[in-house]
Amino acid sequence: MTDAERLVRRASERGVTTLTLDSPHNRNALSVRLVQELYDGLDAAAKDPEIRAVVLTHTGGTFCAGADLGEATAAAPPAAPAPGSAGSGPAASGPAASEATPQSPTPQPSAPQSPASQSPTSPSPAGETAPGGPKGPGGPGASAPLGLARLLRTIVELPKPVVARVTGHVRAGGLGLLGACDIAVAGPGASFAFTEARLGLAPAVISMPLLPRLDPRAASRYYLTGERFDAVEAARIGLVTVAAGSDHEVDAALAPVLDGLRRASPQGLAESKRLVTAEVLRGFDRDTDALAERSARLFASDEAREGMTAFLERRDPAWAR
């Protein structure tokens, strides 16, 4: 496979590997192929003694929109529409989208977001899919709850720091990727939202790397309201490390971070990372199975089917007031 054909492009320079999510047609959704290439890139970086750190970045206007709903829909079994739904639209065929977060193609950073703001023909951001979704590395579907947990844990456990470089929108499973990274720098073009509650779902699995880092009051607000927020707010609440003043300044903000990582010893980096990720990993040990089960249960519920049907049909769900 040539570099131009990859969904995750790799480049290395002066001890830093850059992994670039390059699947703009579905807003860098976590398709089976993209996840496999991400695993491959992380594994290669972990094994290379010359590499000190990994930068995770993206092309296009979205860092990562979550699961690939197109793949999940094709693989999921049919589901009956929820009582009171407007019909048997795309979601009635079983769109697998736990931890799904609708995203407008051109959102404004500070405005709350409506689930009806996205075209039903565009790929829906989703953090997890229902059981029986696409198969990925290590067993269950790459976008299924346990598969997502495995991917996030791989980033947290990598013996080399992973640094997120974000200049676009982040939703659902993409927020989990961001939370799993050790350091994150975002520009003003980035926006963030947890809109799962608007769909009858919850940000279950992605909470494992996120909640230990987030301000508790802010987590309550944004988990419950689904409001969209910008990079400055993301830095205030602990979701990102640095909010750059402009998208052009993101690399300048990264420069001292990467310089510091290049100067560190491999052993020093690995052992220091173990210290700062210990609490997150204890959460994975304790909560993975229960949160994956909760995510699958929520996805299978009538409310989630109604929420996804309403989202794809660009209407308010039955419970909206």
CA distance 219 to 204: 13
Does residue 320 sit within a domain?
A: no
Which two three-digit tokens encode residue 233?
A: 């707010």
On the CB side of 74, how many CA atoms lie within 13 Å of its CA?
A: 10
| Number of domains into which the chain is organized | 1
Does residue 321 sit within a domain?
A: no
User: Could you tell me the CA-to-CA distances from 205 to 11, 64, 144, 172, 258 in Å, in that order?
Assistant: 30, 16, 10, 10, 29
What local confidence, expressed as pLDDT, does residue 194 receive?
Answer: 93
What local confidence, expressed as pLDDT, does residue 173 receive?
Answer: 87
Structural domain containing residue 243: 3-312
* Residues in CB range of 321: below 8 A, 6 or more apart: none
Which stretch of 84-98, 182-196, 238-252 has the lowest confidence by average pLDDT? 84-98
Residue 149: φ, ψ to 5°: -60, -40
Does residue 106 sit within a domain?
A: yes
CA distance 211 to 179: 9
Mean pLDDT over the full length of the chain:
82
CA distance 225 to 143: 24
**The Cα angle at residue 36 between residues 31 and 38, in degrees rounded to 5:** 95
CA distance 127 to 183: 21
Mean pLDDT value across residues 143-153:
86
Which stretch of 110-114, 294-298, 306-310 has the lowest confidence by average pLDDT? 110-114
Which stretch of 113-117, 143-147, 179-183 has the lowest confidence by average pLDDT? 113-117
Does residue 299 sit within a domain?
A: yes
Mean pLDDT value across residues 49-66:
96
What local confidence, expressed as pLDDT, does residue 66 receive?
Answer: 84
What local confidence, expressed as pLDDT, does residue 2 receive?
Answer: 67
Which stretch of 21-25, 58-62, 140-144 has the lowest confidence by average pLDDT? 140-144
Does residue 179 sit within a domain?
A: yes
Evaluate whether 9 touches 42 at the Cβ level (below 8 Å): no
Does residue 232 sit within a domain?
A: yes
- Say whether pLDDT at 132 is over 50: no
Tokens 């931890």 belong to 99
Which stretch of 98-107, 162-171, 205-214, 251-260 has the lowest confidence by average pLDDT? 98-107
What is the pTM assigned to this prediction? 0.81
* Residues in CB range of 255: below 8 A, 6 or more apart: none
What local confidence, expressed as pLDDT, does residue 75 receive?
Answer: 52
What local confidence, expressed as pLDDT, does residue 72 receive?
Answer: 54
Mean pLDDT value across residues 205-225:
97
Q: What CATH number corresponds to the domain at position 80?
A: 3.90.226.10
Position 195 confidence tier, pLDDT thresholds 50, 70, 90: confident
What local confidence, expressed as pLDDT, does residue 112 receive?
Answer: 36
CA distance 179 to 193: 13
Which residue did the predictor score with more confidence, 70 or 198? 198
pLDDT single digits (tens) 252-265: 999 999 999 999 99
What local confidence, expressed as pLDDT, does residue 84 receive?
Answer: 37
Q: What percent of the chain has pLDDT over 70?
A: 75
Which residue did the predictor score with more confidence, 89 or 169? 169
- Say whether pLDDT at 129 is over 60: no
Does residue 34 sit within a domain?
A: yes
